[in-house]
Structure 1
Amino acid sequence: MIAKSTIDQVYETARLEEVIGDFVQLKKSGSNFKGLSPFSDERTPSFMVSPVKQIWKDFSSGKGGNVVAFLMEHEHFTYPEAIKYLAKKYNIEVEETERSDEQKKEANERESMYLVSEFAQQYFTEILWESELGKAIGLTYFKERGFTDETIKKFGLGYCLDQWDGFTTAALDKGYQLKYLDSTGLTIVKEDASDPNKNRKFDRFKGRVMFPIHSMSGRVLGFGGRILVNDKKAAKYLNSPESDIYHKSKVLYGIYYAKQAIAKENNCYLVEGYTDVIQFHQRGIENVVSSSGTALTPEQIRLINRLTKNITVLFDGDAAGLRASLRGIDLILEQGMNVKVCSFPEGEDPDSFAKNNALEDVERYLSENSKDFIQFKASLLMEDAANDPIKRAETVRDIVNSIAKIPDRIQKEVYIQECAKIMTISENVLYSTLAQIEKKERLDASKKPQQAQKAFEVVKSETVVEKVDVQFELERKIIEMLLLYGNKEESFEDLVLKENEKGDLELEPESVVAKVYEKIYLDLQEDEIELANEQFRTIYARLIEGLNAEEEFSINAFIAELDQEMVTEVSSILMEEEKYTLHNWERKDIYPKKKNKGIAQLVSETILTLRCFLIKKRMRNLQEQTEDAQGEVDHREVLEEIMNYLNLNKLLNQKLNRVLS
């Protein structure tokens, strides 16, 4: 268990915008920050971060909460893991009691896989630095690649002994279960059908140098292993298999070490291999990641898109490799990214070029040789086309096909103009070709299976307009006012029922100075009103208790005590106003009224409106009682009660300046 003092210190120290800024590129938006949702695929920002409130809200997925909730949602951390991550980031010493064996067993499946992976990384590193074979084989290899001790340690590089089950035996001896060694792919288990106890177990990565693959937050997801002997039957590089924690199509090698530099430089260099990434880092260029030898995927591009809109793809001098990688460029364009391409001289790759040149020379080369994708693609394809008109026409169509992938219309037009200049061809012809391509894409998209069309028609014919739940909205507003202004002192104009000279009831105004939470609590108590929504009822009780007990009420501390479902609801309530800033209404000469204008009036009107709603609800119930009653029943008392409610409702609506029909 982590000590409460540590948890409190973490909440006091952690800055939400700094933590989320490690995962999402945030831009200032008034007093808040906004960015692309890390939970859904979008091109228009719907993710808001409030440094003042220390909460975030993703309006595309509905998720929200505080700094811990973000790490739990984004990185799938448990609560203790999120606290430890923040403690490490802000150099806070974690005080905790030792977990019992029982508590260790209770760790869920994913967590057990993470623990096994982290042990494996530590084991391979230990073998590399402390065993004779590790130093003689693994460490020697890394040194030959030009990596310094500091670099090797930074990336957690290691070595797996060339033994059938050296790692597996060590892990089992430490108490890690074979089940998780198998599910992470670290151990290969060959079942013996006749006797399960005789299952053969051997290390997947035996005899390989090890490259740990980290998540954006630094957790070990899997490994890449390179064999060091010439074996035609064995793959040169071997990756961990797909698992619950490792999906290679969604992971970029080096993203954990590169994320801050990518956001700072507003550019990401994309290379092919592990050593390319490491060598660039060692040279001093840290905004670099790799797709780890797999074909580039939309998920990997979107990972970069959270940090920057700009990608520079680095290729080696191999012409065949260049052409094969053109598909990746189209994918990047399709995601709305800006892409440049830089190829190295023949016989060089990013690894060797960074190793053999000084930082200034590498930076100068990248700056001078990074071409816009149109220039790059045109020059590459025109080599093949030469003076062949048919091939030249195919090249033009190929380039326009790439331009068609770009979602932004202005960008498309700029690229069409650029292509016309480079290929010396009429812009009109290119626009015509682009229109044909786009028309074909729309036609293909419209060709849906008949069954799907029918299903859509059924849904369309049964469209129902959802009715607004008035009581829910009013109760939500009460929670919002308590959260935002609970401790603020205001002058309220209270209404007191008094008899006039004729004996009729009248509402007379009376000024009262009170804190917002006191006013709300006393008004609801006076009318014996209990919130109908169960979640709001729980939040309301905790808010009143907290506001009454603490002079300096902290929303951050309050949220820390809630479960995740309530955290999501509270963050939605608190960030309601921020949702409208996403639409930039001021640009359209529409100026929404700020919440903090007329707090006393807002509180009074909300309570009065809730009273009116409940009075009407009570009157409807009384009417139903009289209609349902059988026989000669005397309804005089019920009718008298209805009349009293009608009069009260009339008085309340007069106060609200509402005309009753």
Structure 2
Amino acid sequence: MIKPETIDKIFDAARIEEVVGDFVTLKRRGVNMLGLCPFHNEKTPSFTVSPAKGIFKCFGCGKGGNSVNFIMEHEHFSYPEALKYLAQKYSIEVDEEKPSPEQQEAMDEKESLFNLTAFAQKHFEDTLHNTEEGKAIGLTYFKERGFTTDIIKKFGLGYGLNTWDDFTSKALKHGYKKDLLEKSSLVRTKDQQTYDAFRGRVTFPIHNLSGRVLGFGARILTQDKKKPKYINTAESDIYHKSKVLYGLFFAKSAIVREDNCYLTEGYTDVISMHQAGIENVIASSGTSLTTDQIKLIRRYTQNITLLFDGDPAGIKAAFRGIDMILEEGMNVKIVLFPDGEDPDSYARNFRPAEVKAFITENAKDFISFKTHLLLEETQNDPIKKAGLIKEIALSISRIPEPITRSVYVQKSSDLLQIDENLLMVEVNKQRRVKSKEQAQHPTPQEEESWVAIQPPFEEGIAKKGISLRHQEHEIIRALLLYHSQVMIFDEKDEEGHDVRHEINVTDYLINEITNDELRFETELYQHVFDEIKNAREQEKMLDEQYFFTHHNPDVSKMAIDMLTSPYTLSNQWEDKHKIYVKKEEDNVKMNVIEILYAFKLKKLEKIIYEKREELKEKMETEIMLDKMEFIRNMETIKTILAKELSRIIIQ
């Protein structure tokens, strides 16, 4: 359990623009900041961050919250996990007891896997630096590749002893169960014998966006041809290879800063480039690029530069993946290293300034690069050239922006020496084919990007009774929005003199609801009302900011959803046109009374409805008459209240 005072420190330290900025590219828009929502697929930014209020809100999918809510939603963390993440980010110490083996077993499997991979990473790292075999074999290998001690420690590189079960035995002693070890694929079982999966290999930890270890890549250091050079952690509840990019945790800030992402093929490419001072670099870990990985990059930049060695076969194999990048509306460039060089070797053989200069000078846009590369292979063969034209048209057709498509059609037609209109016809043909395919097989991402429209609240009343959720929502919203604003009532005293009475919105609503002994049906709303009421009894006033940073994530999310809007009234109505449009806050008294009366009226409707339902049951005549009399009295009060509400609305 984290102490409340520590939680307060975390909330005070966390700056929403910094927390969100680690995952999303934000651009200033007035007092707020805007970016592409990380929670749904969008191409027009609707994700807003308010540094002044310390909140975020997406007006596309509806997600909103404070810094803790964001980390919980984005990283799928529990509340304590999100707090610990922010505590680590802002160097706030959180004292916690180490879980016992029994507590460890009781934790859910996902968290247990995270704990196990963290334990494994520390074990392999310790083995690399503090055992004779680790230093002689693993550390020597890394040093021979030119890696410094600092870069080795930064990436958490390690080594697994070339023994049968060094890691397995230590993990079991620390309370980790055998079935969990097997699920993590850190150990394997053959002929009822359990053994370490990464024995005799150097290890490369693979991190998620918050720095937690998801799994490992591991390289063998012997010349055994029967064993694969690299092996990876198998898919698990926490590691999905198609959704992870190696090095992104270390690169994301640099990608945002440089507004460009360098994509390489291997772990050592990333590490060598980082050591050379080029940090906006990641790797696909030798797998074909997936849509999920591309979307991950697009959160941080629209620009991606692929770094290839001189192997034409490898480049051609990547064409399909590059078309997928174009399809996401990203700008793609290619850098081809000289024969015999790759990003790893080039970064080791040249000074950092020379590496940066080479990449900058040799980066070519993908369409031009692909056209030049394939043209060399046609050797003026008309059939091959026709195939080339279709290939280029296919890539251009994937670009969603029509102006960019048109520019590339013009440029490519010059390179191919064909009529521009002819190439455009082929591009449009390819787009029609793609559209037809998408219509027949809509992707899950497209389906998820739509915001579900909820049915009217009153729908189903006959089956479920009358709901007060909307009216309760408006009461709580008024308490959060208006809280200390003053309402003025002109009344008569006992002697008939005019008396002016002032009361703030919070006290007015608390008095009205408490005096009538009304309660909220929605548990969360009742909880918030009680908290506000208790604060007033201590002469404290809770404002919207208190609830934006509330320790209960459900409360903070509720407050942000209630009080944020994508629309603001333009000052030009008054400044230019001399037209004053009334704002919500101009009619506080009238709004609050209307909300209160609507709440009371709905409460009466529910009471009457329930009493009428009771009359359908068998009962003694006297009891039935009492209920009917009660209903008549309630109907009278309801009529009076309805008339008063109508009068307020008309005013």
Q: What TM-score, normalized to structure 2?
A: 0.87
RMSD: 3.5
Contact 2:188 2:194 in 1 (8 A): yes
Is 2:542 aligned against 1:553? yes
For 1:154, give the aligned amino acid.
Answer: K
Which residue, out of 481, 485, 492, partners 1:484? 481
- Measured against aligned partners, the alpha-carbon deviations of 1:462-496 in whole angstroms (never above 9, x if no partner) come to x996355884333212222222332x232334789
2:40 and 2:18 map into 1 onto residues whose CA distance is 21
Q: Is 1:260 aligned to residue 259 of structure 2?
A: no
Please, which of 570, 584, 592 is the counterpart of residue 603 of structure 1? 592
| Aligned-residue offset at 1:524 | 2.2
Q: Contact (CA 8 Å) 1:258, 1:286: kept in 2 or not?
A: yes
Equivalent residue letter for 1:485: Y
Residues 365-404 of structure 1 mapped to structure 2, 5 A cutoff: 365-404=358-397
Shift of 1:130: 1.2
Shift of 1:594: 5.6
Q: Which residue of 1 aligns with 2:113?
A: 113
Which of 532, 536, 540 is 1:543 aligned to? 532
**CA 369–654 in structure 1, closer or farther in 2 if over 3 Å, else same:** same
Amino acid at match of 2:374: L
Q: Deviations over 1:154-202 (max 9, x none)?
A: 1111111111111111222233222222111110023x6xxxxxx3111
Is the deviation greater in 418-427 or in 274-283?
Answer: 418-427
Distance 1:26 1:264 in 2: 11
- Counterpart CA distance in 1 for 2:631 and 2:135 is 93
The alignment status of 1:142 with 2:142, answered yes or no, reads yes
Return the alpha-carbon distance in structure 1 between the equivalents of residues 569 and 389 of structure 2.
39
Distance 1:141 1:448 in 2: 49
Distance 1:204 1:388 in 2: 51
CA gap of 1:304–1:550, structure 2 versus 1, over 3 A, is farther
- Give the distance between the partners of 1:442 and 1:106, measured in 2 at CA: 49
The total of aligned residue pairs comes to: 625
More displaced 10-residue stretch of structure 1: 392-401 or 204-213: 392-401
Are 2:510 and 1:513 equivalent residues in the alignment? no
* SS in structure 2 at match of 1:380: helix
CA distance in 2, matches of 1:591, 1:227: 74
| Residue pairs, 1:316-355, within 5 angstroms | 316-355=309-348
Contact map agreement 2:185 2:197 (CA 8 A) in 1: yes
Aligned partners of 1:591 and 1:303: how far apart in 2?
Answer: 45
Contact kept in structure 2, 1:25 and 1:36, CA below 8 Å: yes
Mapped to 2, the partners of 1:136 and 1:8 lie a distance apart of 48
Give the Å deviation of 1:336.
1.8
SS of equivalent residue, structure 1 residue 245:
coil
Q: 2:643 aligns with which of 650, 655, 661?
A: 650
Task: Tell me by how many angstroms 1:415 deviates.
Answer: 2.2
Question: 2:615 and 2:196 mapped to 1: Cα distance?
Answer: 80
Q: Contact between 1:187 and 1:203, CA under 8 Å: does it hold in 2?
A: yes
Pairing partner for 2:228 from 232, 235, 243: 235
Taking the TM superposition and a 5 Å limit, the aligned residue runs for 1:166-565 are: 166-190=166-190, 199-447=192-440, 466-467=456-457, 471-486=468-483, 488-493=484-489, 511-546=500-535, 548-549=537-538, 551=540, 553=542, 558=547, 563-565=552-554
Residue 488 of structure 2 aligns with an amino acid whose one-letter code is F
Report the AA paired with residue 75 of structure 1.
Answer: E
Are the counterparts in 1 of residues 488 and 500 from structure 2 also a CA contact under 8 Å? yes
Q: Larger deviation: 467-476 or 519-528?
A: 467-476
Distance in 2 between residues matched to 1:565 and 1:177, nearest whole Å: 34
Post-superposition offset of 1:21: 0.9
C-alpha deviation, 1:237, in angstroms: 0.8
SS of equivalent to 1:301: helix
Deviation, structure 1 residue 554: 6.3
Do the aligned residues in 1 keep the contact of 2:480 with 2:543 (CA within 8 Å)? Answer: no
Q: Tell me which moved more, 234-243 or 510-519.
A: 510-519
Separation (CA, whole Å) in 1 of partners of 2:188 and 2:489: 75
- 1:133 matched to 2:133? The reply is yes
| Structure 1 pair 183–491 and aligned structure 2 pair: CA distance change class (3 A) | same
- Deviation of 1:597 after TM superposition, in Å, equals 4.4
Amino acid at match of 2:107: A
Residues 557, 81 of structure 1: alpha-carbon distance in 2 compared, 3 angstrom cutoff = farther
Which stretch of structure 1 is more off in the superposition, 181-190 or 50-59?
A: 50-59
Task: Name the SS for the 2:650 alignment partner.
Answer: coil
Cα distance, 1:625 vs structure 2: 9.3
Question: CA offset at residue 531 of structure 1?
Answer: 2.6
For the 8 Å contact 1:46–1:58, the answer to whether it is kept is: yes
What is the DSSP-based 3-state SS (H/G/I as helix, E as strand, rest coil) of the residue aligned with 1:137? helix
Give the Å deviation of 1:373.
1.3
* Residues 492, 98 of structure 1: alpha-carbon distance in 2 compared, 3 angstrom cutoff: farther
Letter in 1 for 2:475: I
SS at match of 2:307: strand
Q: Read off the aligned partner of 2:114 and give its amino acid letter.
A: Y
Structure 1: distance between partners of 2:270 and 2:590 = 60
C-alpha distance in 1 between matches for 2:569 and 2:176: 48
The one-letter code matched in structure 2 to 1:479 is I
In the alignment, is the contact (CA less than 8 A) between 1:11 and 1:557 conserved in 2? no
Q: How far apart in 2 are the matches of 1:608 and 1:145?
A: 76
Secondary structure in 1 matching 2:503: strand
Residue in structure 2 matched with residue 44 of structure 1 by the alignment: 44
Partner of 1:7: 7
Q: CA deviation at 1:559?
A: 6.0
Match of 1:270, SS state, is: strand
Separation in 1 of the partners of 2:110 and 2:557? 23
Contact 2:87 2:93 in 1 (8 A): yes
Range 636-645 or range 133-142, more displaced: 636-645
Distance 1:425 1:510 in 2: 89
Structure 2 CA distance for aligned equivalents of residues 639 and 240 of structure 1: 72
Tell me the SS of whatever aligns to 1:656. Answer: helix
Q: Specify the alignment match of 2:83 in structure 1.
A: 83
Q: 1:574 aligns with which of 551, 563, 584?
A: 563
Partner in structure 2 of residue 454 of structure 1: none
CA distance in 2, matches of 1:627, 1:2: 53
Give 3-state SS (helix, strand or coil) of 1:428's partner.
Answer: helix
Tell me, what secondary structure is at the counterpart of 2:313?
A: helix
Contact 2:53 2:545 in 1 (8 A): yes
Q: Distance in 1 between matches of 2:152 and 2:61?
A: 39
How much does 1:100 deviate? 4.5
What do residues 421-480 of structure 1 show as CA deviations (whole Å, max 9, x unaligned)? 33232222122112222222333344479xxxxxxxxxxxxx996355884333212222
TM-score of the superposed pair, with normalisation by structure 1: 0.86
Shift of 1:596: 4.3
Name the CA shift for 1:361/1:640 in 2 (closer, same or farther; >3 Å).
closer
Sort the Cα spacing of 1:98 and 1:135 in 2 relative to 1 into closer, same or farther, 3 A.
closer
Deviates more, 1:396-405 or 1:416-425: 416-425
Q: 1:557: Cα distance to partner?
A: 5.6
Structure 1 portions without partners, runs of 5+: 193-198, 450-462, 501-507
Judging changes above 3 Å, is the alpha-carbon distance between structure 1 residues 223 and 620 closer, same or farther for their aligned structure 2 residues? closer
